[in-house]
Structures are given as C-alpha cells and as structure tokens.
Copies of this chain bind each other. A is one copy, B any other.
Amino acid sequence: MAVNGLLQKGPGGPLVLIGGAEDKDGECRILREFVRLAGGERASIVVITTATRLPGEVGEAYRRVFLRLGAGEVLPVHLDSREKAGDPCHAAFLQRATGIFFTGGDQLRISRVLGGTLSERSLKAASLGGVAIGGTSAGAAAMGEIMIAGGRGGRSPGKNTVKMAPGLGVIGGVVIDQHFAQRGRIGRLLAAVAHNPHVLGIGIDEDTAIIVTPDGRFNVLGSGTVTVVDGRTITHTNASDLHPQPMLALTGATLHVLPQGYGYDFKSQKPYSPGSSF
C-alpha cells in the first residue's frame, strides 16, 4: 500500500498542513500549535515565500504573527530561483531551523523552484530529523509526493479537469487539497483519487489543519472539517478510459468528514475520535 509509503518516507518531525485562510489575528489555534511544535520560545522558524508573488509582504506578516505567538526567531527566505534553492548558504538556513513554514500562492512555483535542489534535500533531512514542517494552501498542497496543481472547483467533475504534478514528497501516500469546502473542490479531489486510487485524498477546509504526527496519524485542528477520500474501495471508474464521455464516473469511494477532535490513523487506515476508531 502506498499509504504505507507515509511511514517509510514520512516525517520524523510533525507536519502542519493548513487549508489556507487560517486565523492570524484571534486565537490563532493552528499557527500557535505550529510554533509550539517548532519549539516555542526556542523556535527558529524559516518562512519560505516561494509560492507567493508578494514575498516581502507575506513573509513579514508571518514573521510578525509567529513572533507574537512566542517564537524565538523567524526568518523569511525568498527562494525565487533554482539557483538560490541550490545555493548551500540558503540550504544551510533550513538545516539550522527548528520549524520550516511554506506560505500560500502557487504550488507549481514551489515544486518548480525547489524540486531536486539542495534546499529540497535539506528540507527532507530536516523533517526526518524531527523539525516541524508547516504549509498553508499551496504550501500544504506541495508537501505530497503528488499534488493537485490546478482544476476549477464549483463545477461538475470532469475526467481530465484536475491537473496533477509531482510535489516535494515530504509526505507520501496522500494527495492534499485546500480551501476545500470554500471552493467546492470535492470534484477535483475525487478525480485526483480516481486517477491515483493508491493514495489517500485529503481535502482541508480554510482555517483548518491536519497535524501529522511521527506515529503515523493525523489530528484535525481548526474551525472547519477535513474530508478524506479513500479510493481503495472504488469499484469502477472511467478515469483512464478512452471513452468519449468527458465527465467523471466513480463508484464505491469511501468518504470521511472529520472536524477538530477527530483524526485518521495511516497504519490501520481508519478514522478515529478520542477513545474510538471507526
């Protein structure tokens, strides 16, 4: 099972994958948890702004909020070229961090700039070494081995409207979607899983996160829900057919909707709530 890939390739440190639009002004439940996992007042957090077109503004906003939430130090780094991402000086920033956070923007920029570079290797080594890795929106999408790179929500699911691309592979066996309920993305997540039934589809709502723990589970945190699509039970799909029907057909998918207090165990491949597994 590729979901087991998570355990082989997955994090030694925790992962905080956020569906975008997380609270930055109020209680900041999610970002506060990221700072805690990164070491709290001893945290040294690198903010990677590669995905955004406004790196100065976005990097500074996260610097301020992480400092306000008690992080020891916060350093925005704008890796905007493969040259920079391959530079040992930049990669060294990642090696010294106790937390690495990817902002939102366009996930293809993350994979195109970092993919296969020294910075990507430093990132994975940091994760295996116990460093907390976080990402919001595009920054969450890019963490999988494969990622959804595009495909409009709020329309009938087509067989070929979801665009897939390789991600950074910090976590294996999953495909992450974000802004999930808000942008009506169930169709594209189902299409992604129909094409890749060996991976678990995880759709994360805004202001909601999954906290992937080193023991191979995730817990849900935040104000929305996380939708899990398990493609192992699919009995039929036309995803790979040459048939002219352009719309998606898919039968027998298993769906879980998980709010805060619930989670998912990658080992047993089942959702759970405190005290019980389903």
Contact = CB atoms under 8 A, between A and B. Distances in A.
Interface string A177-191: 000011110110010
Interface in A105-164: 153-157
A208 interface: yes
A205 B158 CA distance: 12
15 contacts: A156-B182, A156-B224, A157-B225, A181-B187, A184-B184, A186-B186, A225-B248, A225-B249, A233-B254, A248-B259, A251-B278, A252-B255, A252-B256, A252-B278, A255-B255
The 5 A-B pairs of least Cβ separation, nearest first, read A184-B184, A156-B224, A247-B259, A235-B278, A251-B278
A233 to B, nearest CB: 8
Interface in A252-273: 252-262, 271, 273
A156 B259 CA distance: 9
A245 B259 CA distance: 8
Contact of A245 (B247, B248, B260): B260
Contact of A205 (B156, B183, B256, B271): B156
Nearest to A270: B251
A66 to B, nearest CB: 25
Contact of A254 (B182, B255, B258): B255
A184 B225 contact: no
A250 interface: yes
A223 interface: yes
B251 A253 contact: no
User: Which of the listed residues A156, A186, A206, A276 has the most CB atoms from chain B within 10 Å of its own CB?
Assistant: A156
A187 B182 CA distance: 10
A96 interface: no
A236 interface: yes
User: Which of the listed residues A252, A257, A259, A260 has the most CB atoms from chain B within 10 Å of its own CB?
Assistant: A257
A184 B224 CA distance: 15
A254 B252 contact: yes
Contacts of A236: 271, 273, 276, 278
Given A223-B247, A236-B271, 5 more contacts: A154-B184, A156-B224, A249-B257, A249-B258, A254-B254
A253 B258 CA distance: 12
A156 B20 CA distance: 13
A86 B186 CA distance: 43
User: Which of the listed residues A223, A256, A258 has the most CB atoms from chain B within 10 Å of its own CB?
Assistant: A256
